[in-house]
Amino acid sequence: MSLTSHTLIRPAAVAGMFYPGERGTLGDTVRRMLDAAGVSPLRPKAIIVPHAGYVYSGPVAATAYAALQPLRDAIRRVVLLGPVHRVWVSGLALPAATAFETPLGTVQLDAAAMAGLADLPQVEVNAAAHAAEHSLEVHLPFLQTVLADFRLVPLAVGGASPTEVAEVLERLWGGDETLIVVSSDLSHYLPYGDARRLDEITARAILDLRTDIIGEQACGAHPVNGLLLAARRHGLKPHLLDLRSSGDTAGDKRQVVGYGAFALVEGEHVH
């Protein structure tokens, strides 16, 4: 595995589709959702957040991102994991880029941290896996709004086992300066009532730190299971912040996608 040493920007792929493509409108949209989410007493080490279009899942994701606002200057590195939707990888894929771009500006990647994964066989560099992937990109405007100066370690996750994901997270765990974000929606295209019931089962599994969540429950099951395994080892306590679906936000109730927001907290980091 080799990482490029010159500047290479991965441009926004879904701006104007999943979220507003104009800087001012995007900034206003994110801030409005954060304000609506209110404040939280939790101080997360990790969050699980959905990745659909903002009109659908943005208000749910905002409930987790709002909890990060008091940590604005403390968090200097974000480890962001999301499932692949377009290009399959067997393990976890880093980008070839050195920065990611959104309408709110450029996010520098943590080259040293990424290089520190070079010896892990489940990690590869795969630019194609990142080029059009929305599961990571949609979180960047939230992070750019709630955090000050941070660097990013973006990982697109395919078929990696919980153990393989947890091994990567162990390398990157760090201290209070490091936040872990796992991107996942929940149930897909079920009638409203059926989705609600399945999502409640999935939410309970996350709160119980189970590592056997399957793709029908969460499209990001692979990174979610890996995070929950690592969370168990580190004694993190999960909290459910929000559990809704597109039927609650902006879609009809015949076929919905489920969304959950969770904060995982070290010890008693509640204020």
Q: What digits encode the pLDDT tens for the residues 193-220?
A: 999 999 999 999 999 999 999 999 999 9
pLDDT at 267: 81
Quick check: helix, strand or coil at residue 233? helix
Q: Are 257 and 56 in contact (CB under 8 A)?
A: yes
Share of the chain above pLDDT 90, in %: 95
pLDDT band at 269 (very low <50, low <70, confident <90, very high): low
| Nearest CA-CA partner of 68 in 176, 164, 156, 155 | 176
pLDDT at 5 over 60: no
Kindly state the tokens that stand for 97: 């880029």
pLDDT band at 1 (very low <50, low <70, confident <90, very high): very low
- Report the CATH superfamily, name and number, of domain 27-266: LigB-like (3.40.830.10)
pLDDT at 4: 45
| Nearest CA-CA partner of 182 in 148, 149, 156, 212 | 156
Kindly state the tokens that stand for 168: 């990567």
pLDDT band at 3 (very low <50, low <70, confident <90, very high): very low
Residue 71 CB contacts under 8 Å (≥ 6 apart), including other chains: 43, 44, 147, 176, 179
Residue whose pair of structure tokens reads 């168990």 in the numeric block: 232
Q: pLDDT tens for residues 34-88?
A: 999 998 999 999 999 999 999 999 999 999 999 999 999 999 999 999 999 999 9
Quick check: helix, strand or coil at residue 245? strand
Share of the chain above pLDDT 70, in %: 97
pLDDT at 104 over 90: yes
For residues 112 and 121, give the distance between their C-alpha atoms in angstroms, rounded to a whole number: 18
Element containing residue 106 per DSSP (H, E)? strand 105-108
Residue whose pair of structure tokens reads 């309408």 in the numeric block: 103
| DSSP class of 242 | E
pLDDT at 271 over 50: no
Q: pLDDT tens for residues 244-257?
A: 999 999 989 999 99
- In terms of Cβ atoms closer than 10 Å to its own Cβ (0-12, 13-18, 19+), residue 15 is buried
pLDDT at 251: 81
The rounded mean pLDDT for the chain is 96
Q: Are 237 and 212 in contact (CB under 8 A)?
A: no
Q: pLDDT tens for residues 173-197?
A: 999 999 999 999 999 999 999 999 9
Assign residue 105 a region: left if phi > 0, alpha if psi is -120 to 50, beta otherwise?
Answer: left
pLDDT at 7: 79
pLDDT at 2: 41
Q: Are 182 and 227 in contact (CB under 8 A)?
A: yes
